Chains A and B, each alone.
Chain A
Amino acid sequence: MPGDVGLRAANAVEVADLRVRYRTPDGWFTAVSDFSLTVSSGQRVAIVGESGSGKSSVCMALAGLLPLGAAVEATTARIIETDLTARPTRAIPYQVPGVSVVFQNAMNALDPVWTVGSQLGTAIRGRGATSRARARVLAGEWLERVGIRDPARVLRARPYELSGGMRQRVMIAIALCSQPELLIADEPTSALDVTLSVDLLELITSLTADLGTTLLMITHDIGLCRAYSDRVVVMHRGRVVEQGDTEQVLAAPSADYTAALLACAPSLGQLNDHRLTTMVGVS
């Protein structure tokens, strides 16, 4: 409901000097340091980086879902209304109010033993007072909203009885049905084929735009950033190397790393190139 947007806090995410460390048998391992990010409500921000860049740690830290062995420190860490630094850590974490997450592989994220109807229903009812019957109706509507043609069948099905694309759509429905203020998408399509990826990102971006939900997307794919984000944050080895307006950063990167990352991906426009540009010392 676009009318609500005005009532929301101006910034969905306000993080300064975030550091994420993990306890390992050899002492503390620092996955992210000096991470600062401000996202105003309704923006679409992409965090891009390769494996080991710390982008997933950032996303799990902001969603409040890191395990007990992780330490999160920051001078400021406000997500919607919640101050992350004031939250006690727990073995089984609590949701940061207003924050939903979409994971990479719905096969792992959906609960294998419950039907789609039950999982979607409990998410719709949330902690609110929606009746079961009403939740059932809304669940069917949400499935239609994410482009599932036979909601009645899918509601009765369990995740493993659906195709990969359907599962991903179901996950998106569950994440968005509570109308969150912030959606964190952790590599939402990287397990999928390109045509499906594009369809699903179209779906995510159009739904979040309808709901006025802020989108924070984590990806390794510069193509996805280009098409589906307003701002981009480039991470490398636990630090932010560059951030700014997506079009500007990709057109004229200021950091060498960003430039190298842009240059080394093969593209259909350079079929006859003899060799790909490679990054020296990054492998």
Chain B
Amino acid sequence: MVKILLLYISLFSAPLLGQVTLQKQLELANNLFEDSLFFDAITEYKRLRYFDRAKEFDFISNFNIGLAYKAGAKLDDAARYFVSADLATSIKSEKYLAQTELVKVNILRKTTTTAFKLIDQMETSFPNKIDELKYWRGWVFMFDDNWEAASIQFSRIDTSHSLKLLSDRVQNDKYSVILAKGLSYIVPGAGQIYTGNYLSGVLSLAWNLATGYWTVSAITDNRVFDALMVGNLLFLRFYNGNVDNAEKFAIENNLKVSNEALLYLQKYYRGIKP
């Protein structure tokens, strides 16, 4: 009787080994992932997903495929798999992990509107993670080039948060576009000088003075046609050009300041990054 039972068990327990196989497959994929062999790791996670009919490893495989794609800068693919990972689980902590990664991917690909929406939803679903979500909202603001809002977000976590200080510094280093334009309206060339483009500022001032003088001199000599011609074709061209240039220089410089800050974060920031 016992022999029959043992034989029966040995025959029918074979499929149970499938569980062991999938577990081993997960280990293989994990090892490849840990060795930064992301292409192969993705293949093996996909193999695991395909043969895991019970979808027992669905979350971990999707999540790690997402991470591997993210490591390879394939952000759209990564986002797709983090969404799948989120849908594959009902465990709250896993959902939080997947959604957080989705936020990070959206930060990296600068789809900040989506990132903000996701954080809004997460604040409702995960009220105990508010501080962490504030942190990621701060990052979204930084990538959205809104350093003032980023500073406010980080100060809500800690008033001397290193990222708050960095955001403040960037905000201070940036030029006011309105001020640059305003200065140029009042004194031609002043906007360029304010943004550090001294030669352009001086040249602009000289052209505006010369053409302005010709225009005024034509008016005082009652040469109306000359005044209109020189005023419209030369003076206004240089005057408007001076204002446009001031705006352009301010925007260019601000972009440079922002990019340098983001580069600094990428290279030297030691905290949690997207």
Does A pair with B? no
Listed in ascending order, the chain B residues whose CB lies under 8 Å from chain A are none
Listed in ascending order, the chain A residues whose CB lies under 8 Å from chain B are none
